């Protein structure tokens, strides 16, 4: 949940700020920040009320634009509508962050349509604005989107460039969870082009961070990737040990492990010990 807020805390925060006449004291910025909390609690009525309030109390065209943007996302507005909003906000004073966010969203929409040229066009426009604003978190999002486009196009060298820059910024920001995910993304791309030593090093770094964070999903991704590399080298024993460690991590936390882990361990065991010839 946003900011590690548990559902009970989120409910208390929302009730305190929105019940009765309390919402009258909430400005556009705060109302929009509360929307993700309401969404995570599946409170659609409150989401709608917050967005309507954010638009109603907006003080200028930029605040109105942010409210319109969030409302349009909720309504699954068309690409044409988002493009129109983007053009309306491009020349607003103090509107560059909003324009960058809209262009990034357009990039995501085009990516979902497999239109990679348009996805990269809008993402690069968004990135330029975020770079001029020194918005490093926004730059990370943009680089991740460019990396995803390039990977889908099998432009792996370009994907590595974007992924490496993304990782460098995340390290500068001290974002361990982001680093963990970025390292695994990069490792997968390195493995795709046959750079197995680089891939193994990145997966091991990702695994180290995921262990520190006790992030079982991150551990699964890293160990699965390391098992892939071990299997390519026909080191089935190491691959099985990695996956067994992953299985035990889920068990220790009382979480049901994905069935694919057991299935793969069994398949590896069969590879290591092929059935006897009964002829």
Q: pLDDT digit string (tens) for 40-83?
A: 999 999 999 999 999 999 999 999 999 999 999 999 999 999 99
Residue 247 placed within a domain: no
94 and 124 inside one domain: yes
Average pLDDT over the chain reads: 93
For residue 234, give the nearest of 260, 192, 183, 196 by alpha carbon: 196
3-state secondary structure of 131: helix
Angle at which helices 156-173 and 176-192 cross, to 10°: 160
58 lies in some domain: yes
- Give the domain-ending residue among 41, 76, 111: 76
Q: How many domains does the chain have?
A: 2
Per-residue CA distances from 100 to 84, 123, 125, 197, 260 (Å):
14, 8, 7, 37, 40
User: What domain range includes position 120?
Assistant: 78-174
Which tokens is 43 given?
Answer: 């409170």
Q: Which of 163, 125, 130 is nearest to 144 (CA)?
A: 163
Single pTM value for the model:
0.88
For residue 4, pLDDT over 90 is answered with no
Residues 112 and 88 in one domain: yes
pLDDT at 275: 55
Asked whether residue 19 is assigned to any structural domain, the reply reads yes
pLDDT score for 253: 86
- Is residue 67 domain-shared with residue 91, that is, in the same domain? no
| 6 part of a folded domain | yes
> Which CATH number fits the domain that encloses residue 131?
1.25.40.10
Pick the last residue of a domain from 22, 57, 76.
Answer: 76
HSE value, Cβ hemisphere, 13 Å, CA-based, for 56: 11
pLDDT tens per residue, range 191-237: 999 999 999 999 999 999 999 999 999 999 999 999 999 999 999 99
């Amino acid at each position: 949940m946003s900011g590690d807020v548990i559902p009970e805390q989120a409910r208390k925060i929302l009730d305190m700020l929105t019940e009765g006449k309390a919402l009258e004291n909430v400005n556009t910025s705060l109302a929009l920040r509360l929307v993700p909390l309401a969404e995570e609690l599946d409170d659609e009525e409150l989401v709608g009320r917050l967005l309507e309030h954010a638009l109603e109390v907006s003080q200028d065209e930029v605040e109105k634009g942010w409210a319109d943007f969030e409302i349009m996302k909720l309504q699954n507005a068309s690409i044409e509508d988002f493009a129109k909003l983007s053009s309306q906000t491009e020349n607003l004073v103090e509107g560059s962050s909003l324009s960058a966010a809209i262009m990034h969203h357009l990039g995501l929409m085009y990516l979902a349509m497999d239109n990679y040229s348009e996805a990269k066009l809008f993402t690069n426009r968004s990135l330029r604005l975020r770079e001029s604003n020194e918005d490093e978190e926004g730059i990370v999002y943009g680089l991740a989107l460019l990396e995803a486009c390039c990977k889908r196009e099998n432009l792996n060298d370009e994907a590595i460039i974007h992924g490496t820059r993304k990782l460098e910024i995340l390290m500068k920001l001290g974002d361990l969870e982001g680093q963990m995910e970025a390292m695994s993304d990069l490792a997968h791309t390195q493995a795709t082009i046959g750079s197995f030593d680089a891939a193994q090093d990145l997966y091991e770094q990702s695994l180290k961070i995921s262990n520190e964070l006790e992030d079982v999903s991150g551990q699964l991704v890293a160990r699965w990737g390391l098992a892939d590399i071990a299997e390519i080298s026909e080191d089935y024993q190491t691959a099985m040990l990695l996956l067994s460690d992953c299985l035990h991590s889920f068990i220790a936390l009382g979480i049901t492990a994905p069935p694919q882990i057991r299935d793969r361990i069994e398949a590896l065991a069969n590879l290591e010990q092929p059935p006897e010839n009964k002829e």
